[in-house]
Chains A and B, each alone.
Chain A
């Protein structure tokens, strides 16, 4: 087989490298990481900057220690729940209905609708009314469900007034009286009539129904008189939910931590100071003075008899309903919530960070900056270093003195602090980071190449070239340079590793290129958020990736060392 001379010359060192098992491993690993950087968008299942949210049928249960997450009821959000005579029912998005008897297991009920269900109530004979979007009204008990035809409307809540008649409220100020036996509606005129959304309705102790809605709207409907009248409860915030205990204690909750309480049927409405100003979506009050409210971002407050206390905020789930059966207290949710700090799962292989961003995708994208700075920085370093070394070693004399003094001066500059000052004085950017990485590192290369050139320039082949009339440039770059090439490649490999660590260091200190994703930057975020002490899935992968990349480069450089220094070959 005949090969061109250049290729044949390259074969020798290559064969030497292939003989070294560690070098082969290094090349394979580096190949994988380079592929990772090139195909990052294809490989990452999520956009690394996207804030991920999921929906979940979350259930939190109260125990002695506080509120604890239980096994989810399916992947769909739960919107409302009610309980009567040992029977409990939960409704949620996309036609979700769950029931249970006593405190047994929840069972999913099939209903003939895909609409989002918003409100539920049970009457004394165990019949349920469920209302939802698209004018959905369902009546039924365990297995027998019947869809009542109704006009298009977003219905929010319903309550039984007696065994036969129910009051339904909707988002466009609808107030409908349903006759369950006949299946007919009567539309009740609202005293406001301006299309305010009505959010919740409850049966008061005197048999009338109390409706709450946006902008502090409260309407009392009297079945006997057939009239709806405005009621003042002293709040102008959007009210989300009302709950009234059998003896008349009542709780209304709303946006921005609104809590309005009434101690008994004849009591006055009192607005309580709330310990948190996030939206509250559900409230429950008992006649024995116990009360609880739940809302967005997993917030749960309990009434301790004198004030509201926050008892739970660590969950990110949005709670929408409370179900209290004796000592079994459940908080239900959750519409789309940000999956913060979730441990590795099938959807997020390396978990998520404090903003709910996918860490696997971030780690994959991080390889781009690492390799870019690594190779670009190293090329720059070797380019400067080799030329300075060549010129200094070849020309000697004053040129050498000036260049080598410069190198000496550079050895007096501590690397990391210099890079810090450079980046901070000139605003972090990719260019400045590469400059900071490479501006000092070439000092070693220059020294090494120079000492090699010093011995090479005295060799006969250089003298022969000079006698033949070759120019200085020709001798330097065509005769001497190929002989230092193995050393150049060795230095290139080592400095790629050094540059990758240097970039990671700068990014870790928060001085990396802004708006970029890098391994050091991921660790910077982890440290800054304070969650790194618990979220191991956040800390481990970037460090392991940096280590693997640099290690593979070092392995390759070790085999290049054998190529560059033939004395090492003999003793293998």
Chain B
């Protein structure tokens, strides 16, 4: 199989996955919420306005027509109007997705930047007390629920020492004309430190442990013996020879993690009042804002799938040993 056919096949697979997910989503919502506009009664809409909303989503039509309408709308990026925001859903969702991604990517990069060298170092000190401690701490943060570590972090650094703000992305009120305008400020950095740290600590364990384990395998290889025989320093052997060859499984794990990053960490967003997509889904479903919930989920899934695809393609470029199966 050539590279080109592989790429085409992979893209088609991604589109197919997205279609299946959209279909599942559609039927799940129709099963769970037979009349989504029922929530609008509490919003104070009269029967006429409700009928207009029903027409917009084609709720009077037979199920298969509704389904087709849903698919065409989704392809055109037309997701209707949010019940609670009274604004086009797509605008809200894209902004929230950006907020989620910046949090998740920063945390993942941080986790891997610390975890990989730490894992290599632990493998070097294998069997020592440091090694045991390192494994213990890594697994501990992996086992602690993030909403709890987040709450404790807020208590200590936000409420107790009042070093960091406890919620939101920026101090209110602020004016920013665009997404990047909002991000590139010290104030944003200040707000981001705690949530990024909490997510990073959670992710830290897996690159660290994977790195440590593969390093241990690499130590048994002949070229390490060779390096030792040449009289190289232990430190050089560790970082220049062993670590490079142990990176592959870590990169695989990184790919999977980034692939799922768009799913975000709903609880961290909730605890830190981070205006991300996960928190938006939670709010949307709580307020029965079905256009928003449906679109948020679909766009999130689309992003997860595209990231997976992107990472897969990059991966085949990085590691020639991976055959185009």
Contact = CB atoms under 8 A, between A and B. Distances in A.
Interface of A: 22, 405, 408-409, 411-418, 420-422, 424-426, 497, 501, 504-505, 508-509, 520, 523, 527, 532-533, 536, 539-540, 542-543, 546-551, 554-555, 558, 567-568, 570-571
Given A408-B13, A571-B216, 11 more contacts: A22-B132, A22-B136, A411-B308, A417-B296, A424-B32, A425-B28, A505-B266, A533-B159, A546-B144, A547-B145, A558-B135
Contacts of A549: 143
Contact of A422 (B28, B159, B282): B28
Interface in B148-164: 148-149, 151-152, 155, 159
A349 B304 CA distance: 46
Contacts of A424: 32, 285-286
A409 B21 contact: yes
Max chain B C-beta neighbours (<10 A), residue from A417, A497, A504, A549: A417
Interface stretch (B171-179, B189-197, B233-241, B256-264): B256-264
24 contacts: A409-B16, A411-B259, A411-B308, A412-B304, A413-B21, A414-B263, A414-B264, A414-B301, A416-B278, A417-B281, A420-B282, A421-B285, A424-B32, A425-B33, A425-B285, A523-B151, A532-B155, A533-B155, A533-B159, A539-B151, A539-B152, A546-B143, A551-B140, A568-B213
A413 B16 contact: no
A424 B28 CA distance: 11
Contacts of A426: 32
B122 interface: no
Given A424-B285, A547-B140, A567-B217, A504 B260 contact: no
A412 B262 contact: no
A525 B281 CA distance: 21
A505 B278 CA distance: 13
A509 B266 contact: yes
A418 B294 CA distance: 11
A509 B147 CA distance: 10
A533 B155 CA distance: 6
Contacts of A509: 266-267, 270, 282
A541 to B, nearest CB: 11
B112 interface: no
A140 B281 CA distance: 72
B155 A415 contact: no
Contacts of A542: 148
Contacts of B217: 567, 571
Max chain B C-beta neighbours (<10 A), residue from A421, A532, A542: A421
Contact of A420 (B14, B132, B266, B271): B266
B281 A421 contact: yes
B31 interface: yes
Interface string B1-22: 0000000000001101110110
Contacts of A22: 132, 135-136
B81 interface: no
Contact of B18 (A412, A420, A505, A554): A412
A416 B264 CA distance: 8
A409 B17 contact: yes
Contact of A536 (B28, B32, B139, B155): B155
Give 5 nearest A-B pairs by CB, closest first: A414-B263, A425-B32, A543-B148, A550-B143, A424-B285
B148 A523 contact: yes
Contact of A546 (B145, B213, B220, B281): B145
Contacts of B301: 412-414
Contacts of B151: 523, 527, 532, 539, 543
A89 B14 CA distance: 84
Contact of A504 (B17, B32, B145): B145
Contacts of A415: 260, 263
Interface residues of B, number: 57
Contacts of B267: 416, 505, 508-509
Nearest to B143: A550
Nearest to B306: A412
B143 A417 contact: no
Contacts of B139: 551, 554-555, 558
A501 B145 contact: yes
Interface in B211-228: 213, 216-217, 219-220
Contacts of B219: 571
Contacts of A532: 151, 155
A213 B271 CA distance: 52
A546 B147 CA distance: 12
Contacts of A554: 139, 142-143
Contact of B305 (A412, A421, A501, A527): A412
B262 A414 contact: yes
Interface in B3-55: 13-14, 16-18, 20-21, 28-29, 31-33
B17 A412 contact: yes
A550 B202 CA distance: 13
B297 interface: yes
B293 interface: yes
Contacts of A523: 147-148, 151
B19 to A, nearest CB: 9
Contacts of B31: 425
B152 A414 contact: no
Contacts of A555: 139
B300 interface: yes
Contacts of A546: 143-145, 148
A64 B35 CA distance: 60
Contacts of B152: 539-540, 543
Contacts of B136: 22
Interface in B245-303: 259-260, 262-267, 270-271, 277-278, 281-282, 285-286, 293, 296-297, 300-301
A414 B300 contact: yes
A164 B62 CA distance: 94
A539 B149 CA distance: 10
A550 B297 CA distance: 29
Contacts of A412: 14, 17-18, 21, 301, 304-305, 308
A508 B147 contact: yes
A411 B306 CA distance: 11
A417 B259 contact: no
Nearest to B256: A411
B141 to A, nearest CB: 9
B297 A417 contact: yes
B276 to A, nearest CB: 11
Given A425-B31, A523-B151, A417 B145 contact: no
A497 B305 CA distance: 26
B263 A416 contact: yes
Contact of B145 (A408, A409, A543): A543
A342 B139 CA distance: 33
Nearest to B132: A22
Contacts of A550: 142-144
Contacts of B16: 405, 409
Contacts of B29: 425
